[in-house]
Amino acid sequence: MTTPLLELKNITKSFGKVSAVDHVDMTINKGEIIGLIGDNGAGKSTFVKVISGVHTPDSGEIYVRGQKAQNWSVTKAREAGIETVYQDKALAVQQTIIRNIFMGREMTNAFGFMKTKKQYAEAERLMRTIGFTSKVFAPDSVVGTLSGGEMQGVAIARALYFKAQIIILDEPTTALSLTESEKVFNFIRRIKEDGRSCIFISHNIYHTYNAADRFVVLDRGKVVLRLRKDETTAEQLVKDMQDIARTGHYAGSGVTSNTSRN
Ligand SMILES: Nc1ncnc2c1ncn2[C@@H]1O[C@H](COP(=O)(O)OP(=O)(O)OP(=O)(O)O)[C@@H](O)[C@H]1O
Ligand SMILES: [Mg+2]
Protein backbone atom coordinates (compact mmCIF):
# COMPACT_ATOMS: atom_id res chain seq x y z
CA MET A 1 0.00 0.00 0.00
CA THR A 2 1.32 3.45 -0.84
CA THR A 3 0.82 6.24 1.70
CA PRO A 4 -2.28 8.31 0.90
CA LEU A 5 -1.73 11.93 -0.12
CA LEU A 6 -4.22 13.06 2.46
CA GLU A 7 -6.20 11.34 5.18
CA LEU A 8 -9.01 12.88 7.19
CA LYS A 9 -10.04 11.00 10.29
CA ASN A 10 -13.17 11.50 12.33
CA ILE A 11 -13.71 15.10 11.23
CA THR A 12 -16.52 16.93 13.03
CA LYS A 13 -17.64 20.52 12.54
CA SER A 14 -20.74 22.13 14.04
CA PHE A 15 -22.23 25.58 13.63
CA GLY A 16 -24.21 26.15 16.82
CA LYS A 17 -26.70 23.30 16.95
CA VAL A 18 -26.12 22.30 13.32
CA SER A 19 -23.83 19.32 12.99
CA ALA A 20 -22.56 20.18 9.50
CA VAL A 21 -19.88 17.46 9.37
CA ASP A 22 -20.28 14.50 11.70
CA HIS A 23 -17.36 12.08 12.21
CA VAL A 24 -16.33 11.89 8.56
CA ASP A 25 -13.34 9.91 7.27
CA MET A 26 -11.83 10.32 3.83
CA THR A 27 -8.66 9.13 2.15
CA ILE A 28 -7.32 10.78 -0.99
CA ASN A 29 -4.80 8.85 -3.03
CA LYS A 30 -2.58 10.04 -5.85
CA GLY A 31 -4.32 10.24 -9.22
CA GLU A 32 -7.85 9.65 -8.07
CA ILE A 33 -10.99 11.67 -8.56
CA ILE A 34 -13.48 11.49 -5.71
CA GLY A 35 -17.10 12.53 -6.24
CA LEU A 36 -18.51 14.03 -3.04
CA ILE A 37 -22.29 13.79 -3.22
CA GLY A 38 -25.17 14.94 -1.03
CA ASP A 39 -28.27 17.10 -0.92
CA ASN A 40 -28.33 20.81 -0.06
CA GLY A 41 -26.92 21.30 3.41
CA ALA A 42 -25.39 17.79 3.54
CA GLY A 43 -22.06 19.27 4.62
CA LYS A 44 -20.04 19.00 1.39
CA SER A 45 -18.78 22.59 1.30
CA THR A 46 -18.10 22.60 5.04
CA PHE A 47 -16.07 19.40 4.74
CA VAL A 48 -13.95 20.71 1.86
CA LYS A 49 -13.44 23.97 3.76
CA VAL A 50 -11.98 21.89 6.58
CA ILE A 51 -9.65 20.25 4.05
CA SER A 52 -8.57 23.63 2.65
CA GLY A 53 -8.04 25.06 6.13
CA VAL A 54 -10.84 27.64 5.96
CA HIS A 55 -12.76 25.97 8.80
CA THR A 56 -11.03 24.55 11.86
CA PRO A 57 -12.69 21.24 12.72
CA ASP A 58 -14.10 20.78 16.25
CA SER A 59 -12.38 17.40 16.34
CA GLY A 60 -10.59 14.98 14.06
CA GLU A 61 -7.17 14.48 12.55
CA ILE A 62 -5.56 15.35 9.25
CA TYR A 63 -2.58 13.42 7.86
CA VAL A 64 -0.49 14.70 4.95
CA ARG A 65 1.47 11.89 3.27
CA GLY A 66 1.25 9.90 6.50
CA GLN A 67 2.34 12.75 8.78
CA LYS A 68 -0.13 14.10 11.29
CA ALA A 69 -0.73 17.81 10.68
CA GLN A 70 -0.75 20.30 13.56
CA ASN A 71 -2.66 23.59 13.47
CA TRP A 72 -4.05 23.00 10.00
CA SER A 73 -4.63 26.29 8.14
CA VAL A 74 -5.15 27.74 4.66
CA THR A 75 -1.38 28.25 4.41
CA LYS A 76 -0.61 24.66 5.44
CA ALA A 77 -3.21 23.33 3.02
CA ARG A 78 -1.59 25.36 0.21
CA GLU A 79 1.84 24.08 1.19
CA ALA A 80 0.44 20.55 1.01
CA GLY A 81 -0.60 21.29 -2.58
CA ILE A 82 -4.32 21.73 -2.06
CA GLU A 83 -6.16 24.27 -4.24
CA THR A 84 -9.88 24.89 -4.07
CA VAL A 85 -12.25 26.30 -6.64
CA TYR A 86 -15.15 27.40 -4.44
CA GLN A 87 -18.85 27.33 -5.07
CA ASP A 88 -18.98 30.98 -3.98
CA LYS A 89 -16.12 31.86 -6.32
CA ALA A 90 -13.37 33.41 -4.27
CA LEU A 91 -12.17 35.70 -7.04
CA ALA A 92 -11.44 39.40 -6.84
CA VAL A 93 -14.03 40.59 -9.35
CA GLN A 94 -12.59 44.08 -9.68
CA GLN A 95 -9.16 42.72 -10.59
CA THR A 96 -7.83 41.39 -13.89
CA ILE A 97 -7.57 37.73 -14.93
CA ILE A 98 -3.77 37.96 -14.52
CA ARG A 99 -4.02 39.38 -11.02
CA ASN A 100 -6.50 36.66 -10.00
CA ILE A 101 -4.39 33.81 -11.35
CA PHE A 102 -1.13 34.93 -9.73
CA MET A 103 -2.50 36.64 -6.62
CA GLY A 104 -0.21 36.08 -3.63
CA ARG A 105 2.34 34.20 -5.74
CA GLU A 106 3.34 36.67 -8.44
CA MET A 107 6.17 35.95 -10.87
CA THR A 108 9.05 38.22 -9.91
CA ASN A 109 12.64 38.64 -11.05
CA ALA A 110 15.74 38.60 -8.85
CA PHE A 111 15.07 42.22 -7.85
CA GLY A 112 11.50 41.52 -6.76
CA PHE A 113 9.91 43.25 -9.76
CA MET A 114 6.86 41.65 -11.25
CA LYS A 115 7.38 39.93 -14.59
CA THR A 116 4.40 41.58 -16.23
CA LYS A 117 4.94 40.31 -19.77
CA LYS A 118 5.60 36.76 -18.60
CA GLN A 119 2.47 36.75 -16.45
CA TYR A 120 0.42 38.02 -19.38
CA ALA A 121 1.73 35.27 -21.67
CA GLU A 122 1.32 32.59 -19.01
CA ALA A 123 -2.26 33.67 -18.19
CA GLU A 124 -3.09 33.54 -21.90
CA ARG A 125 -1.53 30.09 -22.23
CA LEU A 126 -3.38 28.73 -19.19
CA MET A 127 -6.76 30.01 -20.34
CA ARG A 128 -6.11 28.50 -23.77
CA THR A 129 -5.04 25.18 -22.23
CA ILE A 130 -8.37 24.76 -20.51
CA GLY A 131 -10.19 25.80 -23.66
CA PHE A 132 -11.08 29.39 -22.89
CA THR A 133 -10.22 31.42 -25.95
CA SER A 134 -12.12 34.58 -26.65
CA LYS A 135 -11.99 37.74 -28.68
CA VAL A 136 -14.02 39.35 -25.93
CA PHE A 137 -11.62 38.97 -23.01
CA ALA A 138 -7.84 39.15 -22.65
CA PRO A 139 -5.59 38.38 -19.67
CA ASP A 140 -5.92 42.00 -18.55
CA SER A 141 -9.74 41.99 -18.63
CA VAL A 142 -11.47 42.62 -15.32
CA VAL A 143 -12.90 39.36 -13.94
CA GLY A 144 -16.23 41.01 -13.02
CA THR A 145 -16.99 41.41 -16.75
CA LEU A 146 -16.71 37.66 -17.47
CA SER A 147 -19.48 35.05 -17.59
CA GLY A 148 -19.84 32.52 -14.74
CA GLY A 149 -18.14 29.86 -16.82
CA GLU A 150 -15.25 32.11 -17.74
CA MET A 151 -14.78 33.03 -14.08
CA GLN A 152 -14.71 29.34 -13.23
CA GLY A 153 -12.03 29.05 -15.92
CA VAL A 154 -9.91 31.69 -14.17
CA ALA A 155 -10.16 29.83 -10.85
CA ILE A 156 -9.22 26.58 -12.61
CA ALA A 157 -6.30 28.28 -14.40
CA ARG A 158 -5.05 29.37 -10.99
CA ALA A 159 -5.16 25.79 -9.67
CA LEU A 160 -3.46 24.58 -12.85
CA TYR A 161 -0.67 27.14 -12.62
CA PHE A 162 0.20 26.20 -9.05
CA LYS A 163 0.41 22.53 -10.02
CA ALA A 164 -1.80 21.67 -7.07
CA GLN A 165 -1.65 18.00 -6.02
CA ILE A 166 -5.23 17.96 -4.81
CA ILE A 167 -7.74 20.18 -6.55
CA ILE A 168 -11.13 20.64 -4.96
CA LEU A 169 -13.92 21.68 -7.30
CA ASP A 170 -17.03 22.72 -5.37
CA GLU A 171 -19.93 22.89 -7.86
CA PRO A 172 -17.76 23.89 -10.83
CA THR A 173 -20.41 22.95 -13.39
CA THR A 174 -23.42 24.68 -11.81
CA ALA A 175 -24.79 27.33 -14.16
CA LEU A 176 -22.31 26.43 -16.89
CA SER A 177 -23.24 25.87 -20.51
CA LEU A 178 -22.75 22.42 -22.02
CA THR A 179 -19.46 23.40 -23.67
CA GLU A 180 -18.23 25.08 -20.51
CA SER A 181 -19.03 21.95 -18.46
CA GLU A 182 -17.16 19.89 -21.04
CA LYS A 183 -14.10 22.08 -20.42
CA VAL A 184 -14.29 21.31 -16.73
CA PHE A 185 -14.48 17.55 -17.48
CA ASN A 186 -11.45 17.86 -19.77
CA PHE A 187 -9.61 19.63 -17.01
CA ILE A 188 -10.43 16.81 -14.56
CA ARG A 189 -9.18 14.24 -17.08
CA ARG A 190 -5.92 16.16 -17.27
CA ILE A 191 -5.63 16.24 -13.49
CA LYS A 192 -5.87 12.44 -13.45
CA GLU A 193 -3.47 11.96 -16.38
CA ASP A 194 -0.94 14.11 -14.52
CA GLY A 195 -1.23 11.82 -11.49
CA ARG A 196 -2.89 14.54 -9.47
CA SER A 197 -6.07 14.17 -7.44
CA CYS A 198 -9.42 15.88 -7.26
CA ILE A 199 -12.52 16.13 -5.09
CA PHE A 200 -15.47 16.99 -7.29
CA ILE A 201 -18.81 18.25 -5.96
CA SER A 202 -21.91 18.67 -8.09
CA HIS A 203 -25.67 18.46 -7.68
CA ASN A 204 -25.76 16.78 -11.06
CA ILE A 205 -25.12 13.09 -10.32
CA TYR A 206 -24.50 12.43 -14.01
CA HIS A 207 -21.71 15.01 -13.94
CA THR A 208 -20.25 13.44 -10.81
CA TYR A 209 -20.51 9.94 -12.26
CA ASN A 210 -18.84 11.10 -15.45
CA ALA A 211 -15.97 12.80 -13.63
CA ALA A 212 -15.14 10.59 -10.63
CA ASP A 213 -13.55 7.19 -9.91
CA ARG A 214 -15.42 6.70 -6.66
CA PHE A 215 -18.16 8.33 -4.66
CA VAL A 216 -18.68 9.37 -1.06
CA VAL A 217 -22.25 10.30 -0.16
CA LEU A 218 -23.00 12.65 2.74
CA ASP A 219 -26.37 13.04 4.39
CA ARG A 220 -26.83 15.57 7.18
CA GLY A 221 -23.12 15.56 7.89
CA LYS A 222 -22.62 11.79 7.92
CA VAL A 223 -21.18 9.44 5.32
CA VAL A 224 -24.06 7.18 4.28
CA LEU A 225 -22.52 5.46 1.27
CA ARG A 226 -19.19 4.79 -0.42
CA LEU A 227 -19.01 3.23 -3.87
CA ARG A 228 -16.50 2.72 -6.66
CA LYS A 229 -17.59 3.58 -10.18
CA ASP A 230 -17.45 -0.07 -11.24
CA GLU A 231 -19.88 -0.97 -8.44
CA THR A 232 -22.72 1.19 -9.73
CA THR A 233 -24.27 3.09 -12.62
CA ALA A 234 -25.29 6.74 -12.81
CA GLU A 235 -28.95 5.67 -12.81
CA GLN A 236 -28.45 3.52 -9.70
CA LEU A 237 -26.64 6.36 -7.94
CA VAL A 238 -29.55 8.72 -8.69
CA LYS A 239 -31.95 6.11 -7.30
CA ASP A 240 -29.79 5.65 -4.18
CA MET A 241 -29.81 9.40 -3.61
CA GLN A 242 -33.60 9.52 -3.94
CA ASP A 243 -33.90 6.66 -1.41
CA ILE A 244 -31.56 8.40 1.01
CA ALA A 245 -33.51 11.68 0.69
CA ARG A 246 -36.80 9.82 1.28
CA THR A 247 -35.84 7.45 4.08
CA GLY A 248 -32.80 9.16 5.59
CA HIS A 249 -30.64 6.09 5.07
CA TYR A 250 -29.22 3.83 2.40
CA ALA A 251 -30.80 0.39 1.96
CA GLY A 252 -28.68 -1.03 -0.89
CA SER A 253 -25.53 -3.11 -0.92
CA GLY A 254 -22.85 -0.38 -0.99
CA VAL A 255 -20.46 0.24 1.87
CA THR A 256 -22.04 2.50 4.48
CA SER A 257 -19.46 2.44 7.22
CA ASN A 258 -17.47 5.58 7.93
CA THR A 259 -14.33 3.52 8.28
CA SER A 260 -14.50 1.50 5.07
CA ARG A 261 -11.61 0.85 2.68
CA ASN A 262 -12.20 4.22 1.01
N1 LIG B 1 -20.59 29.51 8.07
C2 LIG B 1 -21.69 28.87 8.51
N3 LIG B 1 -22.35 29.27 9.61
C4 LIG B 1 -23.43 28.60 10.05
N5 LIG B 1 -23.93 27.51 9.47
C6 LIG B 1 -23.32 27.05 8.38
C7 LIG B 1 -22.16 27.70 7.83
N8 LIG B 1 -21.76 27.02 6.74
C9 LIG B 1 -22.62 25.99 6.61
N10 LIG B 1 -23.55 26.00 7.58
C11 LIG B 1 -24.62 25.00 7.78
O12 LIG B 1 -24.01 23.74 7.76
C13 LIG B 1 -24.80 22.80 7.01
C14 LIG B 1 -23.97 22.23 5.88
O15 LIG B 1 -23.76 23.25 4.92
P16 LIG B 1 -22.85 23.08 3.64
O17 LIG B 1 -22.75 24.40 3.01
O18 LIG B 1 -21.61 22.40 4.04
O19 LIG B 1 -23.73 22.09 2.76
P20 LIG B 1 -23.53 21.62 1.25
O21 LIG B 1 -23.60 20.15 1.23
O22 LIG B 1 -22.34 22.26 0.65
O23 LIG B 1 -24.85 22.21 0.58
P24 LIG B 1 -25.10 22.77 -0.91
O25 LIG B 1 -25.28 21.56 -1.76
O26 LIG B 1 -26.38 23.54 -0.79
O27 LIG B 1 -23.93 23.60 -1.31
C28 LIG B 1 -26.04 23.55 6.59
O29 LIG B 1 -27.06 23.30 7.51
C30 LIG B 1 -25.60 24.99 6.62
O31 LIG B 1 -26.68 25.85 6.87
MG1 LIG C 1 -22.01 23.55 -0.92
Helices (H) and strands (E) in the chain, counts: 8, 10
CA dihedral (74, 175, 38, 188) positive or negative: negative
User: What lines the ligand 1 site, CB under 6 Å?
Assistant: 15, 18, 20, 38, 40-46, 87
Cα(210) to centroid(ligand 2), Å: 19
In this structure, the answer to whether residues 224 and 182 fall within a common structural domain is: yes
Which residue puts its alpha carbon closest to atom 6 of ligand 1? 15
In this structure, the answer to whether residues 136 and 262 fall within a common structural domain is: no
In this structure, the answer to whether residues 71 and 190 fall within a common structural domain is: yes
Testing ligand 1's pocket by substitution, the residue of 36, 45, 207, 208 carrying the most ligand atoms inside 8 A of its CB is 45
In this structure, the answer to whether residues 77 and 173 fall within a common structural domain is: yes
Which residues lie below 8 Å from residue 227, measured CB to CB, with a gap of 6+?
Answer: 214, 215, 217, 237, 254, 255
In angstroms, the Cα distances linking 126 to 155, 179, 239 are 11, 18, 38
pLDDT digits (tens, 9 = 90+) for 196-219: 999 999 888 999 999 999 999 999
Least confident window among 103-117, 140-154, 169-183: 169-183
- Residue ending a domain, choose from 139, 163, 187: 163
- Residue ending a domain, choose from 163, 198, 220: 163
Which residues constitute the domain of residue 155? Answer: 90-163
In this structure, the answer to whether residues 73 and 95 fall within a common structural domain is: no
Query: Within 10 Å of residue 90's Cβ, how many Cβ atoms?
Result: 12
* Res 261 pLDDT > 50: no
In this structure, the answer to whether residues 98 and 24 fall within a common structural domain is: no
* Res 131 pLDDT > 80: no
Which residue puts its alpha carbon closest to atom 7 of ligand 1? 15
In this structure, the answer to whether residues 192 and 95 fall within a common structural domain is: no
d(CA 124, CA 63) in angstroms, rounded, equals 36
Chain-centre distance of CA 164, in angstroms?
11
Testing ligand 1's pocket by substitution, the residue of 46, 174, 208 carrying the most ligand atoms inside 8 A of its CB is 46
- Please state, rounded to an integer, the average pLDDT across all residues of the chain: 88
Q: What is the mean pLDDT of residues 129-156?
A: 82
- Residue ending a domain, choose from 105, 131, 163: 163
d(CA 231, CA 247) in angstroms, rounded, equals 22
Q: What is the mean pLDDT of residues 237-252?
A: 83
In this structure, the answer to whether residues 205 and 261 fall within a common structural domain is: yes
* pLDDT score, position 28: 97
In this structure, the answer to whether residues 132 and 174 fall within a common structural domain is: no
Cα(203) to centroid(ligand 2), Å: 9
pLDDT band at 255 (very low <50, low <70, confident <90, very high): low
* Model pTM score: 0.86
207 backbone dihedrals φ, ψ, rounded to 5°? -65, -45
Cα(62) to centroid(ligand 1), Å: 21
In this structure, the answer to whether residues 29 and 138 fall within a common structural domain is: no
* Res 259 pLDDT > 60: no
Testing ligand 1's pocket by substitution, the residue of 17, 44, 47 carrying the most ligand atoms inside 8 A of its CB is 44
22 with 12: CB under 8 angstroms?
yes
In this structure, the answer to whether residues 181 and 66 fall within a common structural domain is: yes
* pLDDT score, position 260: 45
* Res 106 pLDDT > 70: yes
